[in-house]
Amino acid sequence: GWQVSMKSGSLSYILPCNRLPVQLISQVRVYTSNGQKKDLGSEDTNGSARGETLHKVETGRQDTTNAGQKQSSPKQPIQVKVKAVLKKREYGPKYTQNNFITGVRAINEFCLKSSDLDQLRKIKRRSPHDDTETFTVYLRSDVEAKSLEVWGSPEALARERKRRKEAEIKYRENLFRNQRLLWEYKEFFGNTKPRSSTAAMFFKGPGKVVMVAICINGLNFFFKLLAWVYTGSASMFSEAIHSLADTCNQALLALGISQSARTPDPSHPYGFTNMRYIASLISGVGIFMMGAGLSWYHGIIGLLHPHPVESLLWAYCILAGSLVSEGATLLVAINEIRRSARAKGLSFYQYVVQSRDPSTNVVLLEDAAAVLSVAVAATCMGLTSLTGNPYYDSVGSLGVGTLLGTVSAFLIYTNTEALLGRSIEPEQLQRLTELLESDPVVRAIHDVKATDMGMSKVRFKAEVDFDGRVVTRSYLEKQDIEQLLQEIQQVKTLEELEAFMLKHGDNIIDTLGAEVDRLEKDLKQRNPDVRHVDLEIL
């Protein structure tokens, strides 16, 4: 029905009414102390005029009808329903003292010993780590009180923190000095330490491909350089520069592979995997500047200032040997990419374009360019031998430079895309989305993002709308229902209701956290490429 608000002094009432407001206003009057009649049908500044009009309209009808109705029907009492509302609690600094703190933080931040923590209350909480189910935490208020008991005052605690900070800085300086002395010792007496896992990386997979390429390209550079000194061919000079660029770039790739194997540290929590892409990017730039640039320069100089070419017999022999060696390295790279692409369920072309393994991609493209450039150089040198025209040889140098520039542009593009953090394939993202949406605890997911961090490592992020009923039911399934019913029946006051809701509300939140951990674990198990999962609760 209608609800009409009327004020009397400082009190406010909400009265249920199934008649028109004008009828109710006509029946309720308030008499002031001076005996004047006042209508309360309006609350605004113009309410007096409207109240007088309503009073006049209703006066005649009251005289004829209301008197009989009042005599025939008794007055119904007005029932006012009051809503019980829990008093809002103000959370101050004291409430945050009930926060939990781990033992490691308590020892580091409050300068305590492990024996000091043995005397404090221990609380078992759900662990955020996959390898442990529960771990021990302490109340922050207990830890603060214990630190004051140990150190006597906050000033003494601050002085101890400052002293430990200075000691830590000094320790790091000494550690750096000791590491340098150890390095000098190994250089002088020899390193007798067994081969590490980082060194073992160069005997299999992409590391093996890079090491084979370094050895072969180094030998090719040496022999091509001798052939250029003997013949003076511009194409042979371009080939020598090409082999030198390949050797330097692949040495850079080897450095990137060794750096990518470093374990994550606090400054780099996601590791150093992208070092391979950085090394490949620098390698692409080096090919463009060192290989393509010098080849174009030498070819242009040959066109502007041509000179006769000496006997090319030795040059042909060296090119033939280079073709065989470069072809062998190319086959090693092709076999490695085929094996890796088959393991990932991708085609050869997709694996190369997506730059899943940047180190092997660089070796593949450099060796493919080397084989083609050998063919171009041999063709142009043959035309020069047949016609005696040195311009063909200079054109060959320009062709080799153009080929190297194309390869370098492709490497720069693919590695830049990988470093920027591109998204994974739509089909893979759809599988991850369907896995989440098929879980009963998930009502909907929003803002889904999956980034390829490089080397088949994916970071997945989504905002999840959880079904609170399913989460609550999951919590109730682990409880004794009869005991829970008895607790409900014992609730008589608001304080008891508040304590009951706070107790089980805290446990339901822990259940929600356990469901988040379960979903993250399922995503990682069913999709090994997913290494980092961030699920945000809506």
At 528, is the secondary structure helix, strand, or coil? coil
| Chain mean position to CA 11 | 57
Q: What is the pLDDT of residues 317-338, one digit of tens each?
A: 877 887 888 788 888 888 888 8
**Helix/strand/coil percentages in the chain, nearest 5:** 65, 10, 25
When pLDDT is averaged across residues 522-534 and rounded to a whole number, the result is 88
Structure tokens at 105: 């933080």
pLDDT for res 441? 92
- Strand-pair partners of 38: 30
Residue 23 scores a pLDDT above 60: no
Answer yes or no: are the C-beta atoms of 230 and 309 closer than 8 Å: no
pLDDT for res 96? 59
Among the residue ranges 229-243, 322-336, 400-414, 500-514, the one predicted with the least confidence is: 229-243
Angle formed by the axes of helices 275-286 and 391-420, to 10°? 160
Question: What percentage of the chain reaches a pLDDT higher than 90?
Answer: 6
Residue 10 scores a pLDDT above 80: no
Give the C-alpha separation, 148 to 204, whole Å: 57
Q: Just give the CATH number of 94-189.
A: 3.90.530
pLDDT for res 442? 92
Residue 298 scores a pLDDT above 80: no
For the chain, how far is it from start to end, CA to CA, in angstroms? 37
When pLDDT is averaged across residues 411-431 and rounded to a whole number, the result is 85
Answer yes or no: are the C-beta atoms of 461 and 477 closer than 8 Å: no
Residue 12, amino acid: S
Residue 77 scores a pLDDT above 60: yes
Q: Just give the CATH number of 426-537.
A: 3.30.70.1350
Calculate the alpha carbon distances from 430 to 426, 427, 449 in Å.
6, 5, 11
pLDDT for res 465? 92
Residue 462 scores a pLDDT above 90: yes
pLDDT for res 41? 43
Per-residue confidence band for 167, with pLDDT thresholds at 50, 70 and 90: confident
Residue 82 scores a pLDDT above 90: no
Per-residue confidence band for 165, with pLDDT thresholds at 50, 70 and 90: confident
When pLDDT is averaged across residues 528-536 and rounded to a whole number, the result is 88
Answer yes or no: are the C-beta atoms of 381 and 316 closer than 8 Å: yes
Give the C-alpha separation, 234 to 393, whole Å: 6
Tokens 């400054």 sit at which residue? 267
Answer yes or no: are the C-beta atoms of 499 and 408 closer than 8 Å: no
Per-residue confidence band for 161, with pLDDT thresholds at 50, 70 and 90: confident
For residues 194 and 164, the model is more confident at 164
- Strand-pair partners of 14: 5
Q: What is the pLDDT of residues 471-494, one digit of tens each?
A: 999 889 888 888 889 989 999 988
Give the C-alpha separation, 275 to 255, whole Å: 9
Identical fold, 94-189 and 198-420: no
Length reported for the chain = 538
Residue 76 scores a pLDDT above 70: no
HSE-CB of 277 using CA atoms within 13 angstroms: 20
Answer yes or no: are the C-beta atoms of 208 and 202 closer than 8 Å: yes
CB atoms within 10 A of CB 531: 17
Domain ranges within the chain, ordered by starting residue = 94-189, 198-420, 426-537
When pLDDT is averaged across residues 11-25 and rounded to a whole number, the result is 43
Give the C-alpha separation, 439 to 442, whole Å: 6
Pairing status of strand 458-466 against strand 530-537: parallel
pLDDT for res 31? 43
Backbone angles phi, psi at 83, to 5 degrees: -90, 125
Give the C-alpha separation, 380 to 280, whole Å: 31
pLDDT for res 401? 85
Which of 322-334 are b and which e, b meaning 16 or more Cβ less than 10 Å from the residue's Cβ? Answer: bbebbeebbebbb
Give the C-alpha separation, 180 to 150, whole Å: 39
Structure tokens at 488: 């409900």
Pairing status of strand 442-452 against strand 29-31: unpaired
CB atoms within 10 A of CB 114: 10
Q: Cα angle vertex 346, ends 343, 350, to 5°? A: 135
Ordered strands of the 442-452 beta sheet: 442-452, 458-466, 530-537
Tokens 């000494």 sit at which residue? 174
Q: Cα angle vertex 89, ends 83, 95, to 5°? A: 155
HSE-CB of 20 using CA atoms within 13 angstroms: 4
Calculate the alpha carbon distances from 116 to 96, 142, 174 in Å.
22, 11, 30
pLDDT for res 93? 61
Structure tokens at 385: 């031998």
Q: Exposed, middle or buried by CB within 10 Å (0-12, 13-18, 19+), for 62?
A: middle
Q: What superfamily does domain 198-420 belong to in CATH?
A: Cation efflux protein transmembrane domain (1.20.1510.10)
The string of DSSP codes covering 36-93 is -EEE-S--STTHHHHHHHHHHHHHHHIIIIIHHHHHHSPPPPPP-PPPP-PPPPP--H
Per the prediction, the chain carries an average pLDDT of 76
For residues 430 and 91, the model is more confident at 430
Residue 107, amino acid: I
Residue 25 scores a pLDDT above 60: no
When pLDDT is averaged across residues 382-386 and rounded to a whole number, the result is 83
Q: Annotate 252-298 with three-state secondary structure.
A: HHHHHHHHHCCCCECCECCCCCCHHHHHHHHHHHHHHHHHHHHHHHH
Q: Which of 4-18, 161-175, 520-534 has the highest mean pLDDT?
A: 520-534
Structure tokens at 269: 């929590």
Residue ranges of E strands in 302-424: none
Give the C-alpha separation, 124 to 137, whole Å: 6
